[in-house]
């Protein structure tokens, strides 16, 4: 039988100490949640990648374009149902710091290859019909106040116009995506528009195709399609690397550096610091309760229930701090998205992350409480009663 009032009242005895410990725990758990969510966002593209999509890029470098002539040849590969060309546009809106992705692509094929994209405003027909049209992701549209019918001027950094003016895209639709394979921050426009602009001298920039995104027809093995594509262009003019979409996305994540290691070491450091803080509080608290423990034992409470009193104090303390940290992490979601949402599209504090936070909290609760609890359990009644309060 564990006197629960003792658990809560002992924690509340030193209010300042209690508050400080809970707050520092909350801050640490908050940080862990945010870090984890950033990693999850980075990997989101990988997780939601479609198994039937294949990316064809230059084997040499992502910065090398592939010849236009590759398109028709790819269409002839067994198992390729359709494909879309994708060219990274690399522009910005008004100021270089207003960064988000733009791609020149084949509009009809875009929706075929990425069925998860759907329009929430505007019309697909309008987008297809107008060569200068574009569709904008809902997040970016909200950030810059762009609506259907507006002209969205983008300065081309990679494809500068001859007179330095912006590329005027006409917004025909706002899109959202059902999966995290496509983020909601991108602008898609007509590949033809890019081609014609380069031809006419309106703008200059790298010719060729950035990547081809293939949709593998049902019944065909993506791996076989990839081998066939690689073999087809083995002799050039540009050797290619066909990869699954998940591999392609993973490539970007790994480029940020050894993210798992970095995040683990940071997370580890934070956990250690916070564990020490909580342990310190628990040890101090436990020491002050030495005589009380003697009294409890004298009254007939078992060693086990005394153990319980102390370990519960640790769990309650950590539970409160962890809960606060989790709530803060969840509440800060909009702010983080606003701040660095373009670098980490789809940032969200997901349930698995929250579960991890709960696990971390429980682990700290246990580790911080076990030593004082064991000590209390082993304490002899006489010695405990003699302790100076």
Partner 1 sequence: MALVPLSYNLRSLAVRWSATLLTVFGIGATVAVLSGVLALQQGFETLFSESGREDVIVFLRQGATNEGDSVFSLERAQILMKTLPEIAVDEKGVPLVSAEMYLAVRRKKIDGGESYVPIRGVSPLSFDIYGDGVRIIEGRRLVGGADEVIVGKKLVNRIRDCQVGRTLTLNTTPFEVVGVFDSDGPFASEIWGDRNRIGEALERPVQSRIVAILKEGTDLAALAERMDSDPQVPSKVLTEREYLTSQTQALSFVLKGLGFFLALVMGTAAVFTATNTMLAALASRTYEIGILLALGYRPHAIFLSFLFEALVLGLAGGAVGCLMALPLNGVDTGAMNFQTFTEVAFAFRVTPQVMVTAVVFAVMLGLIGGTWPALRAASMRPTEAMRRV
Partner 2 sequence: MKDATAAAMIRLRGVTKSYSRGGETLTVLDRLDLDMERGGFYALMGPSGSGKTTLLNVIGGLDRCDEGSVEIEGEDIARMNGPELAAWRAEKVGFVFQGFNLIPVLTAQENVELPLLLTKLSRRERHEHALLALELVGLADRRKHRPSQLSGGQEQRVAIARALVSDPSLVLADEPTGDLDRKSADDVLALLQRLNREFQKTILMVTHDIEAAQRARAIVHMDKGGTLGRIERVDAESSRS
Confirm if 145 and 78 have CB atoms less than 8 A apart: no
Binding test (CB under 8 A) with partner 1, winner from 6, 11, 21, 316? 21
Q: Does 16 bind partner 1 (CB under 8 A)?
A: yes
From the list 10-18, 105-113, 116-124, 219-227, the region that binds partner 1 by CB under 8 A is: 10-18
319 binds, among partner 2, partner 1, none (CB under 5 to 8 A by kind): none
Asked whether position 162 contacts partner 1 by CB under 8 A, the answer is no
Compute the least distance from the CB of residue 277 to partner 2, in Å: 22
**By CB under 8 A, residue 283 contacts partner 1:** yes
Could you say which residues in the range 10-69 bind partner 2, by CB under 8 A? Answer: 10, 12-13
Query: For 145, what's the count of Cα atoms within 13 Å in the CB-facing half-sphere?
Result: 0
Q: CB 65: neighbour CB atoms within 10 A?
A: 19
Q: Which stretch binds partner 1 (CB under 8 A): 108-116, 184-192, 235-243, 331-339?
A: 235-243
Closer to partner 2 by Cβ: residue 149 or 304: 304
Residue 303 vs 356, nearer CB to partner 2: 303
Identify which range of 69-77, 212-220, 256-264, 297-305 contacts partner 2 by CB under 8 A.
297-305
CB atoms within 10 A of CB 81: 15
Give the C-alpha separation, 206 to 213, whole Å. Answer: 19
Of 13-21, 70-78, 294-302, 376-384: span binding partner 1 (CB under 8 A):
13-21
Question: For helices 15-47 and 351-378, what crossing angle results, to 10°?
Answer: 140
1 binds partner 2 (CB under 8 A): yes
Residues 6+ apart with CB under 8 A from 280: none
Collapsed DSSP state (helix, strand, coil) of residue 295: helix
* C-beta closer to partner 1: residue 129 or 266: 266
Read off the tokens for 246: 């998940």
Beta bridge partners, 122, equal 173
**Bridge partners, residue 136, by sequence:** 174, 187
Q: Are 244 and 54 in contact (CB under 8 A)?
A: yes
Binding-site string for partner 2 from residue 155 to residue 174, where x marks contact by CB under 8 A and - marks none = --------------------
Residues β-bridged to residue 102: 187
Applying CB under 8 A, does 295 fall inside the site for partner 2?
yes
Position among 153, 260, 269, 304 found at the interface with partner 1 (CB under 8 A): 269
Q: Which is nearer to partner 2, 213 or 311 (CB)?
A: 311
DSSP code for 10: H
291 near partner 1, judged by CB under 8 A: no
The distance from CA 144 to its chain's CA centroid, rounded to whole angstroms, is: 22
Two structure tokens written together for 60: 């040499």
Among 2, 3, 38, 59, binds partner 1 (CB under 8 A): 59
Smallest separation (angstroms) from partner 1 to the CB of 12: 15
237 upstream amide cis, omega within 30 of 0 = yes
Distance CA 354, CA 346 (A): 16
Burial class (CB in 10 A: 0-12, 13-18, 19+), 359: exposed
> To the nearest whole angstrom, how small is the minimum distance from the Cβ of residue 40 to partner 2?
43
Closest CB to partner 2 among 2 and 62?
Answer: 2
User: Judged by CB under 8 A, does residue 292 bind partner 2?
Assistant: yes
Q: Dig out the tokens for 334 from the structure.
A: 């909009």
Does residue 324 have a cis peptide bond before it, meaning omega lies within 30 degrees of 0? no
Query: Which residues of the shown chain bind partner 1 in the complex (CB under 8 A)?
Result: 14, 16-17, 20-21, 23-25, 27-28, 31, 59-64, 157, 160, 234-239, 241, 251, 254-257, 265-266, 269-270, 272-274, 276-277, 279-281, 283-284, 389
For binding to partner 2 (CB under 8 A), which residues are involved?
A: 1, 3, 5-6, 9-10, 12-13, 291-292, 294-303, 381-382, 385, 389
């Amino acid at each position: 039988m564990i006197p629960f009032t003792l658990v809560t009242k002992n924690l509340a005895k030193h209010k300042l100490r209690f508050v400080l410990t809970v707050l520092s725990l909350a801050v640490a758990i908050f940080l862990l949640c945010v870090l984890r969510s950033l990693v999850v966002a980075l990997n989101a593209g990988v997780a939601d990648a479609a198994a039937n999509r294949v990316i064809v890029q230059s084997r040499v470098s992502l910065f090398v374009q592939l010849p236009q002539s590759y398109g028709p040849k790819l269409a002839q590969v067994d198992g390729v149902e359709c494909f879309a060309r994708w060219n990274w546009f690399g522009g910005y809106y008004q100021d270089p710091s207003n960064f988000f992705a733009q791609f020149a692509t084949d509009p009809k094929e875009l929706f075929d290859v990425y069925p998860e994209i759907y329009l929430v405003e505007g019309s697909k027909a309008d987008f297809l019909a107008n060569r200068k049209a574009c569709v904008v992701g809902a997040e970016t549209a909200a950030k810059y106040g762009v609506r259907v019918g507006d002209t969205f001027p983008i300065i081309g950094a990679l494809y500068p116009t001859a007179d330095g003016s912006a590329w005027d895209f006409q917004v025909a639709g706002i899109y959202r995506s059902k999966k995290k394979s496509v983020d909601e921050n991108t602008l898609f426009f007509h590949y033809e528009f890019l081609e014609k602009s380069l031809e006419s001298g309106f703008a200059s920039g790298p010719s060729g195709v950035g990547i081809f995104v293939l949709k593998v027809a049902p019944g065909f093995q993506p791996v076989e399609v990839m081998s066939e594509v690689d073999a087809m262009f083995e002799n050039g003019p540009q050797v290619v690397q066909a990869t699954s979409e998940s591999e392609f996305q993973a490539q970007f994540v790994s480029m940020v550096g050894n993210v798992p290691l970095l995040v683990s070491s940071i997370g580890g450091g934070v956990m250690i610091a916070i564990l020490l803080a909580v342990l310190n509080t628990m040890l101090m608290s436990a020491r002050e309760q030495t005589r009380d423990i003697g009294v409890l034992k004298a009254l007939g409470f078992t060693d086990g229930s005394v153990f319980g009193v102390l370990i519960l104090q640790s769990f309650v303390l950590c539970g409160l701090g962890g809960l606060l940290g989790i709530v803060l992490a969840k509440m800060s979601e909009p702010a983080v998205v606003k701040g660095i949402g373009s670098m980490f599209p789809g940032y969200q504090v997901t349930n698995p992350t929250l579960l991890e936070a709960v696990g971390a909290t429980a682990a700290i609760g246990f580790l911080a409480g076990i030593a004082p609890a064991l000590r209390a359990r082993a304490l002899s009644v006489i010695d405990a009663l003699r302790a100076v309060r």
